[in-house]
Amino acid sequence: MPQNFLTRSVLACLAGCVFTFGFAPWAHGLLTLLALAALFCLWQTDSPKCALINGLLFGVGAFGIGVSWVFISVYQFGKANLAQAGSITLLFVLFWALFPAISGYCSTWLTRRNKTELRLASIALIWVVVEYVRGVWVLNGFPWLQTAYSQLQMPLAGYVPVIGSYGVNFLTAFTAAGLVYWLQNIAKRSFVITVVAGIWLAGALLKENDWSTAQNDSIKVALIQGNISQDQKWLPENRVKTLQFYKAQTQAHWDSDIVVWPETAVPALFEEVKESYLWPLAEEAEQNQTSLVVSVPMQSELPGKFYNALVVFGQGRGVYRKIHLLPFGEYMPLQPVSGFVLSQLGLNLGNFLPGRHDQPLPSAGKYFFTPSICYEDVFSDINNRYLNDSAFLVNVTNDAWFGDSLEPYQHLQMARMRAMETGRFLLRATNTGLTAIVSPKGEVVAQAPLFQPWVLTGTINPMSGMTPFVKYGGDKPMVYVIFALLLLLIIRLYFRGQRVS
């Protein structure tokens, strides 16, 4: 590795840029591994201060490309001007770039007196811990561009039904650290190759295993993609046209067992249209023995507050109110600062309340299913609820907010992970794309094109049985193992430091 600070900084930023090419729509997972290995290699000889800077630059490269779609949402649909949208996007990128910076600083500071293989172990472990904090806790969680999602086409994806996305995050970090160790230790190269190859071979074998069982039944489904532009969707003059579109497409597919509409397909409150529109459709669905899954906002018990909800009509029952709300869209974190900033921009956001965590599963026909709304499909815990009683997953979302960008592809890539973790088919209905049917192995069985009105039809099997990941508690066991390993590493470093002293 070059010793010049400027050269190393440029390499860190370039590695961050390359890192994003492992994610959809490109999905070259090997590039993400190599980029991560390059960063780890820089950190191996960095001081804590330099590791902080190089981690930040890596994050700027990765998030600057990977989440550039934020600009479209703020500028085109948030009605901010060019300077405001650019500033908000820059702040967004810099904020998430802090997490690789924190990883670099903590791991190099912890091993500032031990630049041996223990530093490499520290780098890999702290990377995974910080990624977990970013993906689950900070601002309600933001797991975009986590390394596991880049590996869906790779052998490591075989571990997903066993240890989940954070377990695969750990294995990708371990592999990247192994590459660095292989480069730096000629005498131990055969050992490193054996260990890494063994992990990857086991992953390839696990990929062939069926962790859940298809029931002796089939379900005919129709997923409606309305392709209603976000800036047109809520205009009062377009309401009737939108409602008529969904009604007509649904009536054309009463031969399906399940018809699913995308997130907030109904551009009105449930209370406003239930008598004139929804109840008549519900009766038709009942007569045709079809389960109609509709996403519609609902009035809450509090004035001026709403639920983002999903309702099943016809041959099914249930209401699901979104639990995991979108920060800065459905609720406002960091009050009162965020509220003040958005009021200056003239944006009225954050009027939604979360649903309860103990909501019962809705049913479609004789089967229960696990629902999720919007980006809830990127969180394992939402999709693992009561899975023993659930036959398939249903996600409704609206990625129209992000226009023609990387986001719809990334979002589908992440949703596929939930199908793999649970061993269930996933029905994913979106407003503008990418509407898809995903198999229990994470394969896209059928997909609608972006930005076209479409009805995606297909057949799925209800599934039974639980993957090891779900059976043994989801992410928790793997997270406990990672934190335990980190604690052991810290203890080892402490006693080694004592001996040196």
Show which residues are catalytic: 263, 322, 374
Q: Distance of alpha carbon 84 from its chain centroid, rounded?
A: 27
Distance CA 184, CA 191 (A): 13
Give the list of residues 6+ apart from residue 264 with CB closer than 8 angstroms, or none: 233, 295, 296, 297, 308, 398
The answer to whether residues 259 and 268 touch, using CB atoms and an 8 Å cutoff, is no
Strand spans (E) along 217-366:
219-225, 258-260, 291-299, 306-314, 316-317, 319-321, 363-364
151 contact partners, CB below 8 Å, separation of at least 6 = 22, 29, 32, 157, 168, 172
d(C-alpha 146, C-alpha 151), whole Å: 10
CA nearest to 248, candidates 270, 265, 263, 264:
265
- Can you read off the two tokens belonging to residue 259? 């018809």
Strands 316-317, 363-364: pairing is antiparallel
First to last CA, the chain: 30
DSSP output for 47-114: -HHHHHHHHHHHHHHHHHHHTTHHHHIIIIIS---HHHHHHHHHHHHHHHHHHHHHHHHHHHHHTTT-
Q: What whole-number distance in Å separates Cα of residue 186 and Cα of residue 181?
A: 9
Q: What's the one-letter identity of residue 88?
A: I
Distance from C-alpha of 239 to C-alpha of 51, rounded to nearest angstrom: 53
Q: Are 134 and 84 in contact, with CB atoms under 8 Å apart? A: no
CB environment 413-441: b (16+ within 10 A), e (fewer): bbbbbbbbbbbbbbbbbbbbbbbbbbbbb
Between helix 5-19 and helix 29-45 the angle, nearest 10°, is 160
Q: How many Å apart are CA 116 and CA 367, to the nearest integer?
A: 55
Distance, CA of 20 to CA of 62 (rounded, Å):
6
Cα angle vertex 247, ends 244, 251, to 5°? 140
Cis geometry, peptide bond prior to residue 336 (ω within 30 degrees of 0): yes
Query: DSSP 3-state helix, strand, coil percentages of the chain (rounded to 5)?
Result: 55, 15, 30
Return the amino acid letter for 424.
Answer: R
- Strands (DSSP E) along 361-473, which ranges? 363-364, 367-373, 390-397, 426-430, 436-438, 444-447, 454-460, 463-464
